[in-house]
Amino acid sequence: MPDKSGGPFRKWAATGLSLLIMAGLTMSEASAEATDRTPRAVDLGTLPGHVFSETVALNDSGEVAGTSYDEQLAASRAVRWDSHGRIDDLGVLRGTTRSVANAINERGTVVGFSYTTDLDDSRAVRWEPDGRMIDLGTIPGGISSWAGAINDEGTVIGGARLADRRHRAVTWDRDGRITDLGALPGDSQANTAAVSDDGMVVGTSYVDLATAHPVRWHRNRADALALLPGDTTGSPLCVNNNGVSAGNAYRSGSGPHARRWDGRGRVTDLKPPPGGVRSRASAVNDRGTIVGSADLADQQTHAVRWSRTGAVRELTALGGPSSAVAINLWGTVAGSAQRAEGRSHAVRWDAAGRITDLGTLPGSTLPSEAVSINDRGTVIGNAYTANGAWHATLWRADR
C-alpha cells in the first residue's frame, strides 16, 4: 500500500493546512489549459461555515479523506468525501475541539487525531465506515498519540509522545490494541512512516533527528536498514506490499539522495539523471517503480521515475520545475509542474511518461497541486478557488 508521507516527524505532526497555504502563497499564479481529454477539476468544498479544506488520501472506490477548516484555522474537522463527492463531518473526541484526517483504506476507514491545542493533548482516532469514532489511546506513560496511516487489513501506525517529550513508534491492531515498536539499540526515539498490507512498517530510529537511522519493523522486530558508505542519516518514506521501501539519505553537507531498500533491507542508490546532483524519492508501487524528483544540471528540480532495477528516467515537464508525489499500480504518476512562464499546476504522467496538465478550479487563475492517485487513475489534490480559498480538489480519471 503506497504511502505519501514525508520526513521523520511526518505531515500529521502539524496542522497541515497552514503549512500548505504558506507554501501555496509562494507559488506563481497558474491558469487552466484543459483539453477535451483533460479531467475536469472538481471542487470538493468544505463543511458548512468553513472556508478551507485539503485532501490527504483516497481509495480505489473514490472515497477521499481530508480536513475542513474555518477561516481563522482555529477550528478543523476530519472529513470523508464519498465517491459522489458528498462530505461527511467525522467529528472530534469528547474533551477535544479539533480533528485532522491523515489516511483512508479500501474499506473507507479513516485515521488521524483529535486535539485541542497541539500534539501534547492529541489522541489517535479511527473513524469507521459506519461513522463510529474510536479513541485509540496511547502507550503507558504517554501523554498523547496520533495515527498517520492504515493498511487494508486494519493495522494503524502512528506515534506517541512521552512526558519527557520523546517520541515512540506505535501500531494499533484491528481490535485497537497498541504496541510500542521500540527503537534500534542505542536509540531512544522512533517514528513510523508507512505500512504494507502484511504489517511491515518502515520509519526512523534516533536519539536526535541529526542521527536518524532507517528502520523496518516486522512482527514487532526492529531491523536496521542499510545505508551506503558516506551516508550519515536516512529515512524511508514508503513501502510496497513486496517489502520494497524508498526514501532519502543525507551526507555531511549534502543531500537528499534517494535510496531504495529491497525486501532483505539491502540499499540501492537511486541516482539522478546525468548531470544531476541530488534526488528525492516520494512513492513506490507494488511493481517496484519509484517516483520522486532530482535537481538537474539546469539548476531546476524535475520529476523522475526509477525502474525496479534503478534505471532513472526524467518525466516530461511543462517548461519549468516539476515533482512527482504518487504512482499507482499501472505506472500512472501524479505530481505538480510549473510552466515556463511560472504557472504551477497539478499534473499526471501516463506510463509512457507523457504529461497532462490537470489545470485548476473553474474560474480560478491560481495554483493547484496533486497529492495522490488511485489505481483507477483518479487524482486528488488541492487548488485555490477564484477568491483565493484553498480547497480539496479531485480530477476523475478520463477512462
Sort 26 into a burial class: Cβ within 10 Å, 0-12 / 13-18 / 19+. exposed
Q: What is the mean pLDDT of residues 96-114?
A: 98
The reported pLDDT for the residue numbered 37 is 67
Dist. CA 208–CA 187, nearest whole Å = 9
Q: How many Å is the Cα radius of gyration of the chain?
A: 20
Buried b (16+ CB within 10 A) or exposed e, 381-395: bbbbbeeebbbbbbb
User: What pLDDT sits at residue 8?
Assistant: 25
Q: Model confidence over 327-364: pLDDT tens digits?
A: 999 999 999 999 877 889 999 999 999 999 999 999 99
Alpha helices in 45-85 (DSSP H): none
Residue 350: its pLDDT value, please? 96
Question: 304 by DSSP, 3-state: which?
Answer: strand
Residue 219 banded pLDDT, cuts 50, 70, 90 = confident
With a threshold of 0.85, does the pTM exceed it? Answer: yes
The CA distances from residue 358 to 20, 345, 366, in Å, are 19, 7, 13
Q: How far is CA 257 from CA 53, 202, 383, in A?
A: 32, 18, 29
pLDDT tens, residue by residue, 384-398 = 999 999 999 999 986
> How far is Cα 169 from Cα 159, in angstroms, rounded to an integer?
5
**Burial per residue of 325-364, b for 16 or more beta-carbon CB atoms within 10 angstroms, e otherwise:** bbbbeebbbbbbbbbeeebbbbbbbeeeeebbbbbbbeeb
Q: Is 104 helix (H, G, I), strand (E, B) or coil?
A: strand
Contact (CB, 8 A) for 79 and 101: yes
Residue 18 has pLDDT above 90, yes or no: no
Could you tell me which of 398, 348, 326, 393 has the C-alpha nearest to residue 366? 393
- Average pLDDT on 266-274 reads 96
Q: What is the pLDDT of residue 337?
A: 97
Say if residues 330 and 319 touch (Cβ distance below 8 Å).
Answer: no
Q: Is the pLDDT of residue 269 over 70?
A: yes
Residue 6, pLDDT score: 31
Rounded CA-CA distance 301/299 in Å is 7
- Which one, of 123, 132, 130, 172, lies nearest residue 150 by Cα? 172
Give the cell for residue 346.
Answer: 497539478
C-alpha cell at 179: 504496541
Count of beta carbons in the 10 Å neighbourhood of residue 137: 15
Per-residue pLDDT band at 253 (split at 50, 70, 90): confident
Report the share of the chain in percent with pLDDT over 90: 83
Q: Output the pLDDT for position 398.
A: 64
pLDDT grade for 32, boundaries at 50, 70 and 90? very low
Residues 162-203: tens digit of each pLDDT: 999 999 999 999 999 999 999 999 999 999 999 999 999 999
Average pLDDT, the chain: 90
Could you give the C-alpha distances from 2 to 86, 281, 326, in angstroms and in order?
25, 12, 8
What does the alpha-carbon distance between residue 365 and residue 359 come to, in Å, rounded to a whole number? 9
Helix (H), strand (E) at residue 24: helix 16-25
User: Over the stretch 145-167, which tens digit does the pLDDT of each residue have?
Assistant: 999 999 999 999 999 999 999 99
C-alpha cell at 337: 509542474
DSSP state string for 136-176:
EE--TTEEEEEEEEE-TT--EEEEEEETTS-EEEEEE-TT-
- Grouping H, G, I as helix, E, B as strand and the rest as coil, residue 187 is coil
Of 322, 255, 334, 244, the closest CA to residue 289 belongs to 244
Whether 305 shows a pLDDT value over 60: the answer reads yes
Dihedrals φ, ψ of 67, to 5°?
Answer: -140, 140
Beta bridge partners of 204: 191, 214
In the prediction, which pLDDT does 341 show?
77
